[in-house]
Amino acid sequence: MNAPKISATLVALICAVNTGSSPTSTHASLPSLPAHGSDRIRADQWHLGSLATAEANKLSNGDGVTVAVPDTGVHPHPDLTGNLLQGTDILSGGGGNGQDDRNSHGTGMAGLIAAHGQGNNNGARGIAPRAKILPIRSSTEDNESKPDDLGRAVEYAISSGASVISISSAGSSSPVLRQAIRAALAANVVVVAAAGNRPADSEVGYPASEVGVLAVGGVDRSGAHATVSVAGPEIDVVAPAVDIYSTSINGKYRKGTGTSDATAIVAGAAALIRSKYPYLPAQEVAHRLTATAVDKGPPGRDDEYGYGVIDLVAALTADVPPLGFESASAPAGAGASTTAGARPGDDGDGATVRGLVTLAVIVTAGVGWAWVARRRRRGDDPPPRISR
């Protein structure tokens, strides 16, 4: 069975950001930059302004949330200091703590989720700058991961208490991986996964194709469907996926294009919601993201944009109709709206919901809560999808 491949192809390098020279390599890392170069990185993170991240961070910063990143590992970076936990190395012959990245992909994904920069707008910033990253090295430096290794990484994330798992890879599945993904969903974990990248991928890969997983596609700077992003009936939401700056190994920075980047951004959004509304079940977190997404393309859900581009502020403030169940851990008298899961003192100010789509509910036997029917089911055990 072919291995899933990290979906961050078409990664570009600008060899000297501070001098404006043209791209000369497809490697993922930018050279080490002086302080003013770090300033440029923040300025070039166009997705932060596009998503109104500064406004969203007035409402939530991801405090108290751990996001697992099964990837090529996460190298310590100044912009992640204090947010990087001790993880693990799943690969054969490993035994490390997950903080060894010989590729830069995993470090880049971690930065998009939880980088805090270095003050005074220096360095990269993530969507949830106070969330914690649980690094799990499950992919080689060549961006290859066996389905069973990813499955064991997901199992480790569950047992370590992660409440969000960000999977920036897509490909074939295996019984071990499918069981692990379903166990994560049953354990009230938000699982976010990349749809895949064209031209290598032609359809949504696994685990994004699994019912209950939040499948992420990409848009470009104009908000249009990114040509690199796979489309399909499984797509739930989209996020920026073109020319995305983030952290890299050895204190450097990277610029990437692909649904990997969009996935990490959505995982950061999930962390913001889980922090602000800690009593919401994972399905309600996903529901907030789909229900408040800004509709694109044909009215309603479509195969390129899903329910639309994520709207961080709306996801944190809108009075979203619930899916019809309450978390068992929610305090008594929490009320019917999903804003009932807010931390004490949050008022859920009921901002207008844009692109709201009524979602059907399927009750899954033996799990104890409802699943959001956000895509057509292709069968419980889809055939392996080969990543090229």
Token pair recorded at residue 87? 């993880």
Active site residue 44: no
DSSP letter at 81 equals T
- Asked if 255 and 100 count as a contact pair (C-beta separation under 8 A), the reply is no
Comparing CA positions, the residue from 42, 48, 49, 28 lying closest to residue 103 is: 28
DSSP letter at 338 equals G
Token pair recorded at residue 49? 């302004």
What are residue 246's phi and psi, to 5 degrees? -160, -170
Q: Decide: helix, strand or coil at residue 87.
A: coil
Q: Distance between CA atoms of 378 and 250, rounded to whole angstroms?
A: 42
Token pair recorded at residue 264? 């990490």
Token pair 């969000």 is found at 164
53 contacts: CB under 8 Å, gap ≥ 6: 47, 125, 127, 312
DSSP for 99-140, written as a single string: ---SSSHHHHHHHHHH-BTTSTT-S-B-SSTT-EEEEEE-S-
Count CA atoms closer than 13 A to 101's CA, side-chain side.
Answer: 29
Active site residue 105: yes
Which ranges constitute the DSSP H helices of 125-256?
147-159, 175-186
Q: Distance between CA atoms of 40 and 123, rounded to whole angstroms?
A: 8
Active site residue 260: yes
Comparing CA positions, the residue from 180, 182, 179, 207 lying closest to residue 195 is: 207
Catalytic position from the list 75, 105, 116, 225: 105
Catalytic position from the list 38, 260, 275, 387: 260
Check the CA dihedral 171-172-177-182 and report its sign.
Answer: positive
Catalytic position from the list 7, 29, 60, 71: 71
Comparing CA positions, the residue from 166, 354, 136 lying closest to residue 262 is: 166
103 contacts: CB under 8 Å, gap ≥ 6: 28, 72, 73, 139, 140, 141, 142, 143, 249
What are residue 71's phi and psi, to 5 degrees? -165, -145
Q: Cite the active site residues.
A: 71, 105, 260
